[in-house]
Amino acid sequence: MTEPALDAPAPTDSPRGLDLGRLSAYLSTRRPDLAGGELRARLIAGGKSNLTYLLRVGDREVVLRRPPLGHVLATAHDMGREFRVISSLAPTDVPVPAALLLCDDPDVIGAPFYLMERVGGEVYRTRTQTDPLTDEQRRGLAMAMMDTLAALHTVDPAAVGLGDFGRPEGYLARQVRRWSGQLDRSRSRPLPGIDELRDRLAATVPEGANAGRIVHGDYRLDNLLATVDPVAVRAVLDWEMATLGDPLADLGLLLTYWDVLGGSDAAEGNPVADGLGPRAGFPSGAELIDRYAGRSDVDVGPLHWHVALGCFKLAVICEGIHYRHTQGQTLGEGFDRIGDMVAPLVAHGLTAVEER
């Protein structure tokens, strides 16, 4: 993460959502090697779900991840899940940060958390970051993103200790039910069309012939740490929704970010999708799928249903973030327009689910 150097606040200057005093005491007993100096921290801006902090312990920098403040949807912010998957993927070709420590005791800082090593690179999220890139660099980033996803989907879960990480059978139907439940917990205003989208998805669930692969659950360019000189993916981040399931769900959601939000007026200036997709000078979604298909044994087949699922899932996520924002439970900037994305997502999802 290409973040500027930390200032040097006193140890008592804790950023919201992180009690440095309690954290320091905990580390002194569980990881003394991380408690040997003054502990400083600040929130890393950009994430709209889990909170990410950059910690400096003496001369060492590490990253802490914890769930968001307030209104936490059940199963949606599982720190243990993230920690387990990056630990298991460490010896594979999928680049992940080194996992350091998991704490499932919410009394330490107010929520479960884990620590991982800081990885160099940049999270490409906005047009301010991507506009200065050359066409070759943008294309290189997009293709590296797809190569990394293909590498993830070819990992044998059992070979890395993730054979019991999920229940592949019925994965797609469970996704519809799960996000329907999350929707009910996030409703705070009328959402025209979203119930119709849910019902159409539930009535047309495909067989899921590719089930049983490791699925990231929220794979996109700005969940990667990358470099452009040379072009490379340095680490895949944000594994909170990872499981065993159908890899087409990752592709459908990626296309939702890339082509749906990346081509929508609602994405203009929006921190979730502003720097993604053809509108930002990247290759088309079709080119991404071709690249993936050439490097994976997954049968991509028709993706329209999976795009519709991606639209539904992302609409629910955005509505949950919108709800937290209205309750004053978000940290950082860029949350005021998240709610504007729900309507175009629902509209595109309704169109996609009817395609043949």
- The CA distances from residue 3 to 46, 63, 160, 180, 257, in Å, are 11, 12, 32, 37, 25
What 3 state SS string does 13-77 have?
A: CCCCCCCHHHHHHHHHHHCHHHCCCCEEEEECCCCCCCEEEEEEECCEEEEEEECCCCCCCCCCC
Q: Which residue has the tokens 């704490």?
A: 103
pLDDT one-digit tens code per residue, 194-230: 999 999 999 999 987 888 999 999 999 999 999 999 9
Contact criterion met (CB below 8 Å) for 58 and 107? no
Task: Supply the pLDDT for residue 74.
Answer: 44
Q: Which residues pair with 43 in a beta bridge?
A: 53
Please give the structure tokens belonging to residue 308. Answer: 């519709």
Task: Please indicate, yes or no, whether the overall pTM of this predicted structure exceeds 0.85.
Answer: yes
The residues, ordered by sequence, that sit 6+ positions from 159 with a Cβ below 8 Å of its Cβ are none
Decide if 53 contacts 42 (C-beta within 8 A). yes
Cβ-based neighbours of 294, under 8 Å, separated by 6 or more: none
By DSSP bridging, strand 231-236 and strand 243-245 are unpaired
The pLDDT tens digits for 114-137 are 999 999 999 998 889 999 999 999
pLDDT score of 34: 84
pLDDT at res. 126: 87
pLDDT value at position 77? Answer: 58
pLDDT of residue 44: 85
Provide the 8-state DSSP code for 123. Answer: -
Q: What b/e sequence results for 319-336 when a residue is b if at least 16 CB atoms lie within 10 Å of its CB, and e otherwise? A: bbbbbbbeeebbbeebbe
DSSP alpha helices (H): ranges in the chain? 20-30, 79-89, 127-130, 135-153, 171-186, 194-203, 248-255, 285-293, 304-326, 342-353
| Angle (deg, nearest 10), helices 285-293 and 135-153 | 50
Q: For the chain, which residues score pLDDT lower than 70?
A: 1-13, 36, 45-49, 70-77, 263-273, 325, 329-335, 356
CA pair distance 279, 285, nearest whole angstrom: 11
Of 248, 250, 200, whose CA–CA distance to 352 is shortest? 200
Write down the pLDDT at residue 59: 81
**pLDDT at 45 (0 to 100):** 67
CA distance 30 to 113: 13
**Angle made by CA atoms 52, 180, 343, in degrees to the nearest 5:** 75
Task: Determine the Cα–Cα distance for residues 182 and 95; give it in Å rounded to an integer.
Answer: 30
Q: Which of these, 163, 166, 143, 157, lies nearest to 92 by C-alpha position?
A: 157
